[in-house]
Structure 1
Amino acid sequence: MPSLTQRVRRAFQRPGAPVVSYVIIALCVLGYLLQLVVPGFTSLMQFHSAYVGTFFLAGPESGFSGLIPFEPWRAVTYGFVHSTLGVLPLHLLLNMYTLWIFGTILEPMLGRGRFITLYVFGLVGGALGVYLLSPQTAVIGASGALFAMMGALLVMQRRLGGQTTQLLVLLAINFFYGFFAGGVSWQAHLGGLVVGLLSGLILAETRQPKDRTLRIVYFVVLGVVMVVLFAIAPGMLWQR
């Protein structure tokens, strides 16, 4: 009988195996364990607009005082920590189950590089949604990236002539649940979904090998737009 190490190695080496999804799940589980044993780990990782938009939110009108460090990586790291409230890690379990479902679909379809791009852009998109719509709140969890995955799959399915009714229903249920449920950041869901839809459009229209350069250009443009929104929108909001 093969050992656990051998079985894990075979799973990772299997053609089309969603290795990136497995790694992200492992990192989220590790992050959760660190939250339990390292005091203050959650607060170091969570997204908070003050740390990403220091130069725009730290003025007298913002309610923030003193010197706030500029930590833009929080727009990604927040997706690797989850709520530790309750006896069971329900927040982590639900998100990882969703990631496993859609990761096993999208990662083999896109390839590992494009899947990583989609996931990271989705995380940043979720953070951007919070930054624009609720700039003084903190958020944790991978939901922004998960909504990006669902949005991207929806666009690609429609472009390729696939069935999208079930996915639309699932998206609607999850989004409106987050909108009305307490303690859930619908802003992160919306930001991730919008970026996922745009990313899905890029991926669907540049799926041929000859389109690689164009795909990179499109994602660079999308990234620049997101950075610009991080830079200017909160300042405009505070001036109103």
Structure 2
Amino acid sequence: MTTPEFTSNRDNFCYRHPDRQSFVLCQRCMRTICPECQTQAAVGVICPECMKAERSNRTPAQKRAQRQWGRGARSRGSIATVQSGRPLMTYGIIAVTAFVGLLQLVPGLNITGLFEFWVGYLFPELSGAPFQPWRLITAALVHSGIWHIGLNMLALWMIGRSLEPMLGRWRFLALYVLGGIGGSVAVGILSPGSATVGASGAVFSLFGALLVIGLHLGANMTGLFVLLGINLVIGFIPGFNIAWQAHVGGAVVGALVGLIVLRTRKREQRVWQILLLIALAAVLLVAVFVIPPLLVGAV
């Protein structure tokens, strides 16, 4: 219900549909708009007139990005083949990770111990531990606390909403999985005595891919550079107990996946894209199975 003072104020009605009451303002012109007139923007919503003005003032880089990555690019063989702009894979990953996080709280299940990664699980003859290679990716499902899982899922939600519709759901999932493996591989090689948990490697792969794609499109990536740099530096600060190796490994793998997708985004190059992603996964597995024993032998 609304007060007579509210209903008598014409500013509380959509400027394009004066009979429709609304509580939402266009973030550009600050006029009231109804749901039919609202277009989702990076922050808030904008009205049709501001949207028209924004499109007419786009830079060449923005126009090129729309041609290559927009929804209409599907018919031209671009990689943007998602039927809907909703990041369903992002939401699915968050839901699965949150469910596993709840299982971690159940006494006696020891989900953390079952899912965490330590390179010793790849070399039973050296460590005496059972051979469990799947831990390379299951480590991305468990976290060390509420803040750990909360910050990782927040970053996934923020980046996934933009990156998943751009890449497509299955490419996005492949990026996330390869990033998680890359983070575990980096920890296994650079810090073989450490066990690791968390989706940091997978999340940082999203940073890496978005950085490569954004630079290719000519976008201003200063903010992402700063954010990525801050997160990498935090991993080196004593007392934070963060596996910086996973951050670096995930970011590097993400950048490589972004480069592969960019170079093979045409429909006729799809087979090459799949083969290159499989080759990247093979390189990661070879590295983690070959390098740690060499390091142990050197010691």
Name the TM-score class by shorter chain.
0.7 to 0.9
Contact 1:45 1:77 in 2 (8 A): yes
More helix by share: 1
Who is 1:177 aligned against?
A: 234
User: Shift of the alpha carbon at 1:135?
Assistant: 0.6
> 1:38 deviation in Å?
4.2
Larger CA deviation: 123-132 vs 160-169 = 160-169
Check if 1:19 corresponds to 2:88. yes
Letter in 1 for 2:279: V
Alpha-carbon distance in structure 2 between the residues aligned to 1:124 and 1:157: 23
Runs of 4 or more consecutive aligned structure 1 residues displaced over 3 Å after TM superposition? none
Distance 1:123 1:100 in 2: 16
Distance in 2, matches of 1:54 and 1:112, equals 36
Q: Which amino acid aligns with 1:232?
A: V
Q: Distance in 2 between matches of 1:33 and 1:211?
A: 41
Following the alignment from structure 1 to structure 2, what is the Cα–Cα distance between the partners of residues 109 and 38?
Answer: 41
- Match in the other structure for 1:46: 116
> Is 2:261 the partner of 1:203?
yes
Aligned residue pairs: how many? Answer: 215
Shift, 1:224, TM fit: 1.4
- Would the alpha carbon gap of residues 23 and 38 (structure 1) be closer, same or farther in structure 2, given more than 3 Å must change? farther
Structure 2 vs 1, CA of residues 107 and 53 (structure 1 numbering), >3 Å: closer, same or farther?
A: farther
Out of 278, 284, 293, which is 1:220 matched to? Answer: 278
Kept after mapping to 2: 8 A contact 1:52/1:75: no
Q: Does 1:71 align with 2:102?
A: no
* In structure 1, distance between residues paired with 2:188 and 2:123: 8
What root-mean-square deviation, in Å, do the aligned CA atoms of Structure 1 and Structure 2 show?
1.5
Contact 1:21 1:107 in 2 (8 A): yes
Amino acid in structure 1 at the alignment position of 2:104: Q
Larger RCO (alpha carbons 8 Å, 6+ apart): 1
Pairwise CA distance, 1:204: 1.2
Matched, 1:118 2:187: no
**1:121-160 maps to which residues of 2 (within 5 A)?**
121-160=178-217
Q: Distance in 1 between matches of 2:287 and 2:87?
A: 32
Structure 1, 199-208 or 112-121: larger mean CA deviation: 199-208
Q: TM-score, normalised by structure 1?
A: 0.86
Aligned to 1:8: none
**Which deviations, in whole Å up to 9, do the C-alpha atoms of 1:63-89 show, x marking residues without a partner?**
x3xx321111101111111113xxxx1
In 2: Cα distance, 1:215 partner to 1:133 partner: 29
CA contact (8 A) 2:188 2:292 kept: yes
Q: Deviations over 1:177-222 (max 9, x none)?
A: 1121431000111111111111111011111212101111211211
Per mean C-alpha deviation after superposition, the further-off stretch among 181-190 and 128-137 is 181-190
Q: Is the 8 A contact 2:89 2:169 kept in 1?
A: yes
Unaligned stretches of 5+ residues in structure 2: 1-82
Unaligned runs of 5+ in 1: 1-13, 59-63
Q: Partners in 2 of 1:43 and 1:193 — Cα distance?
A: 26
Q: Is the 8 A contact 2:123 2:129 kept in 1?
A: no
Give 2:124's aligned amino acid. T
What TM-score does the superposition give when structure 2 sets the normalisation length?
0.69
Larger Rg: 2
What one-letter code is carried by the residue in structure 1 that aligns with 2:103? L
